[in-house]
């Protein structure tokens, strides 16, 4: 399993960024919400969707991190400079914590959901999840956790894109 930090250090194309974040404990949300303002990149990163390219990493873009305390997923919301949502990227996770330097992290369970503003949901890296189980990098229980979490998200929080947009905007309002 890969450990991912909410500083997104694995994105080597990000040359400079500002980071903000805090633990939140409200009736609406319990967990960590963070925001990264991307100041400079060595190279823009683009993803293809429906035959179009979406820039997900570039100067001026923002990434909102939503890490619920007692759930097994982490949402990264990629937004433009006007705070319009470009795409959501949701990692299924095994566990989470905070590193000694105060940066939250999670142990990635390979399986991801990519959600587009029109509500379309793409399942990503199912092959990596299956390979991790085959190679015994994860247990059957962790495999099941990733699948079940993905299914619960698709039938729950992601079932109505307008509700998901509202949820995202409320989280963004907490950290803004």
Domain boundaries, the chain: 2-175
Q: Band of the pLDDT at 176, cuts 50, 70, 90? A: confident
CATH topology of domain 2-175: FomD barrel-like fold (2.40.380)
Average pLDDT over residues 51-71: 94
Distance CA 61, CA 40 (A): 10
Average pLDDT over residues 166-173: 96
Write down the pTM of the prediction. 0.95
DSSP H helices, 4-139, are: 126-134
Helices 140-155 and 126-134, packing angle to 10 deg: 160
Distance CA 151, CA 63 (A): 24
Model pLDDT, residue 44: 94
């Amino acid at each position: 399993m890969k450990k991912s930090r909410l500083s997104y250090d694995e994105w080597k194309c990000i040359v400079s960024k500002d980071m903000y974040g805090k633990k939140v404990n409200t009736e609406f949300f319990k967990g960590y919400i963070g925001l990264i303002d991307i100041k400079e990149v060595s190279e823009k990163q683009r993803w293809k969707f429906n035959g179009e390219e979406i820039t997900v990493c570039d100067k001026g873009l923002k990434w909102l991190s939503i890490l619920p305390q007692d759930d097994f997923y982490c949402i990264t919301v990629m937004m433009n400079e006007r705070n319009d949502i470009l795409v959501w990227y949701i990692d299924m996770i095994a566990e989470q914590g905070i590193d000694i330097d105060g940066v939250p992290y999670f142990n990635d369970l390979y399986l991801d959901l990519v959600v587009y503003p029109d509500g379309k949901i793409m399942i990503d890296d199912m092959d990596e999840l299956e390979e991790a189980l085959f190679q015994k990098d994860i247990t059957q229980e962790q495999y099941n956790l990733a699948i079940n979490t993905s299914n619960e998200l698709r039938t729950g929080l992601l079932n109505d894109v307008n509700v998901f947009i509202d949820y995202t905007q409320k989280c963004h309002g907490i950290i803004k």
